[in-house]
Amino acid sequence: MYKMIVSDLDETLLRADGSISDSNIAAIKAATARGIKFVPNTGRNYLTVQPLLETLGLVNQPDEYVISYNGGAIVENAGNQVLATNGMPQSEAQKVFDVMRAFPETDVHVYTLTNLYIYRLRADDQAYLKTRGVPFSALETMDLGSLAGETIIKVIAMNPSANVQTALFQAVNAAFDGQINCTYSSGIYVEANHYGVDKGTATIELGDRLGISPAEIIAIGDNANDLPMLRRVGMPVAVANGIPEVQAVAKLITTADYESGVAEAIEKLVLSDN
């Protein structure tokens, strides 16, 4: 019945230290052996997902895919061929950046198609990125014109305070009268993509390319930036550690968290012969 599984990575498929459990690996390999697409659907740069793809046997494989930057890019694994990009106009990115950097003790990430630049890096953010193997460069200027020639995909802010995150979210939305895709991720980030760009839109776009209908797609997630993909597919799944809003839209809530929740969902929905 199901032909594609799209899954968030951090706090859904991956442990807190960025590793993946043997049970998740085994279930994904069993599903792909049956011809089912397994597509990481992440806020991250697709280049940083390569070690995971290698672990899953999907690295550099034709007709296998990654959705990255919260829907900002769809990439075929073979040769990392970028099939579609949904970037931010530079003026929009600059405006988001200016709103976010106005918050003290908050660092700001600017993602281009192939690079990550961070303004005012926090030590705790640096430690988190290290567990994910995410490389970055320091952004020394407040003028994103310095990135001319690169396509800016998204701009995000990091602050561990829930109150600051809420204020950031409200400030970004107010600056654009809601005409921006702003959401939360990993319990520490507030992320902004161009209006209409999200994990759900990219999931449906990839499905259309492959002749796979929304009813034939499983989506697995845990946080607010996963909601658009969960709402668009036939089988939305929340892992046990998913936030209440994610669990509310799920048709299946796993009993396990990121340790083996993805494996549990695949075993129940794909591998079971019942």
CATH number of the domain within which 98 lies = 3.30.1240.10
188 falls in which pLDDT band (50, 70, 90)?
Answer: very high
174, 235: one domain: no
Half-sphere exposure of 221 (CA within 13 A, CB side): 35
68, 111: one domain: no
Give the integer Cα–Cα distance in Å for 239 and 229: 14
148 falls in which pLDDT band (50, 70, 90)?
Answer: confident
pLDDT at 128 over 80: yes
186, 102: one domain: yes
pLDDT confidence of residue 222? 97
pLDDT in tens, 164-185: 999 999 999 999 999 999 999 9
33, 153: one domain: no
SS3 86: coil
Question: What Å distances lie between residue 35 and 5, 30, 50, 74, 173, CA to CA?
Answer: 11, 9, 21, 20, 41
55, 183: one domain: no
CB burial of 170-192 (b: ≥16 within 10 Å; e: otherwise) equals: ebbbebbeeebbbbbbbebbbbb
Residue ending a domain, among 166, 193, 220, is: 193
Indicate the helix (H) or strand (E) that contains 205. Answer: helix 199-210
Mean pLDDT, rounded, of the chain: 96
80, 94: one domain: no
Residue ending a domain, among 193, 222, 249, is: 193
149 falls in which pLDDT band (50, 70, 90)?
Answer: confident
CATH number at residue 81: 3.40.50.1000
Q: Tokens standing for 119?
A: 């303004």
Q: How many domains does the chain have?
A: 2
pLDDT at 150 over 90: yes
Supply the range of the domain harboring residue 146: 90-193
CB burial of 4-22 (b: ≥16 within 10 Å; e: otherwise) equals: bbbbbbbbbbbeeebebbe
pLDDT at 257 over 90: yes
135, 212: one domain: no
Give the integer Cα–Cα distance in Å for 204 and 218: 12
66, 137: one domain: no
Residue ending a domain, among 160, 193, 226, is: 193
pLDDT at 274 over 70: no
154, 94: one domain: yes
71, 35: one domain: yes
255, with CB counted inside 10 A (0-12, 13-18, 19+), is exposed
19, 60: one domain: yes
Give the integer Cα–Cα distance in Å for 219 and 231: 9
35, 122: one domain: no
